[in-house]
Structure formats: structure tokens, C-alpha cells
């Protein structure tokens, strides 16, 4: 038996087709960025590294080498690609570099396009980050927002500030 799966339509909705084309064209850069992110995460080792960084918050290349049973130079190559892709960041402590996931922004528009939250009450922040992404809030806008001191949301402000300042050099009342 032959499986004939052809499409025969009576009427092509030109308005729908044009709208869809416009939407695709308007989001062309976002598709490019997301495609790059997915290409990086499409490698099994890098996907495991991202998973481990999410689970453990931060790890050094030696930790990842031991966990994954790979050489440190091989791990370092994967970390470099993830760092070049603006997915992870490094923090130096002595001679050790600890890597972690980060807020992700479109460098051309400064808009937040992704985020990671690792906190016992992190779920409380998801709505705020979702709204920031949905409405195209820039990292600068987040960093300059007023937050009553000692709230979980203040962590988003601090993360946004890290694009322009080293938070470890700020006072406990960072602004």
C-alpha cells in the first residue's frame, strides 16, 4: 500500500502567510542566536557540562574532568566554546577558575533573552524574569531599577549590574 501524503488546499490564506513571514523576519536575529545556543548545547559533552553547572551552581575544569572522565585540556576546549558563546562565565579564585551559567543578553540590543536562577526561593523570581524577557526589558533597565533592600528580586539587579561592574568589588548594599 502506497502512503501518499500530499497537501491539496482550496484557498491559501495570503494574510496568514505574509504575517508569518513578517514574524520570522522580525525575529531573524533571535533565531540565529538561539540556533547558536542550541548548536553549542547539541554536543553531548557540553550538554552534560551545562547540566552539571545548573545542578552544582559552579565547577572548575578539574571537577568536570574528574566527573566526566576526560582530560582537563578537552574540558577546557568545551568550556571555551561555551564561554565564547556567552552561555557561561568564569570566576577566578587564586589559580582556579570556577564556571557558572549566567544571565544571557542580546549584546546588540542589551535585552535579556535568558536567565538561570539557583536559589532556595528562586521560583519567586521566575515571573519577574519572564516578564522582563517578554517585554524586552534591557539589562541596563534591570540594573537601574529600584528594589527594596533584602529582597530576592535584588539578585536580578545584581546579576544585571555584573555586565558593567565586578559585583565582588561592590559594597553589601550594591547600587
Q: What is the largest CA-CA distance in the chain?
A: 74
pLDDT of residue 91: 83
Same domain, 57 and 91: yes
Q: Using CA atoms, how far apart are residues 113 and 139, in angstroms rounded to an integer?
A: 10
pLDDT of residue 47: 87
Q: Assess if residue 125 is contained within a domain.
A: yes
- Per the structure block, which three cell numbers stand in for 84? 565564547
Q: Does the structure show a pLDDT above 60 at 119?
A: no
pLDDT of residue 76: 94
Q: Assess if residue 4 is contained within a domain.
A: no
Q: Assess if residue 38 is contained within a domain.
A: no
Same domain, 109 and 97: no
Same domain, 159 and 111: yes
Give me the CATH number covering residue 88.
1.10.10.10
Rounded to the nearest angstrom, the gap between the alpha carbon of residue 131 and the centroid of all alpha carbons in its chain is: 15
CB-based contacts of 57, cutoff 8 Å, min separation 6:
100, 118
Q: Assess if residue 33 is contained within a domain.
A: no
pLDDT of residue 167: 62
Q: Using CA atoms, how far apart are residues 76 and 101, in angstroms rounded to an integer?
A: 15
pLDDT of residue 81: 92
Same domain, 109 and 163: yes
Q: Which residue has the higher pLDDT, 127 or 148?
A: 127
Position of cell 528594589?
A: 147
pLDDT of residue 80: 93
Same domain, 116 and 85: no
Q: Does the structure show a pLDDT above 70 at 151?
A: no
Q: Which domain holds residue 96?
A: 43-101
Rounded to the nearest angstrom, the gap between the alpha carbon of residue 81 and the centroid of all alpha carbons in its chain is: 14
pLDDT digits (tens, 9 = 90+) for 64-115: 999 999 999 999 999 999 888 878 888 888 898 888 877 777 778 888 877 7
% helix, strand, coil for the chain, step of 5: 50, 10, 35
pLDDT digits (tens, 9 = 90+) for 19-65: 999 999 988 887 887 788 788 888 999 989 988 887 787 899 999 99
- Per the structure block, which three cell numbers stand in for 107? 549584546
Give me the CATH number covering residue 162.
3.30.390.30
Same domain, 114 and 162: yes
Same domain, 66 and 113: no
Amino acid at each position: 500500500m502506497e502512503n501518499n501524503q500530499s497537501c491539496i488546499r482550496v484557498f491559501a490564506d495570503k494574510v496568514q502567510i505574509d504575517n508569518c513571514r513578517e514574524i520570522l523576519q522580525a525575529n531573524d536575529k533571535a533565531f540565529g542566536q538561539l540556533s547558536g545556543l542550541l548548536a553549542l548545547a547539541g554536543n553531548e559533552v557540553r550538554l552534560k557540562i551545562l547540566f552539571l553547572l545548573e545542578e552544582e551552581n559552579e565547577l572548575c575544569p578539574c571537577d568536570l574532568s574528574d566527573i566526566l572522565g576526560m582530560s582537563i585540556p578537552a574540558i577546557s576546549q568545551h568550556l571555551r566554546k561555551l564561554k565564547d558563546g556567552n552561555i557561561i562565565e568564569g570566576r577566578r579564585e587564586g589559580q582556579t577558575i570556577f564556571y557558572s551559567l549566567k544571565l544571557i543578553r542580546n549584546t546588540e540590543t542589551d535585552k535579556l533573552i535568558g536567565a538561570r536562577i539557583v536559589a532556595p526561593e528562586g521560583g519567586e523570581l521566575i515571573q519577574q524574569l519572564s516578564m522582563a524577557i517578554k517585554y524586552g526589558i534591557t539589562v541596563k533597565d534591570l540594573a537601574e531599577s529600584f528594589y527594596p533592600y533584602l529582597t530576592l528580586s535584588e539578585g536580578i539587579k545584581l546579576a544585571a549590574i555584573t555586565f558593567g561592574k565586578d559585583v565582588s568589588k561592590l559594597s553589601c548594599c550594591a547600587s
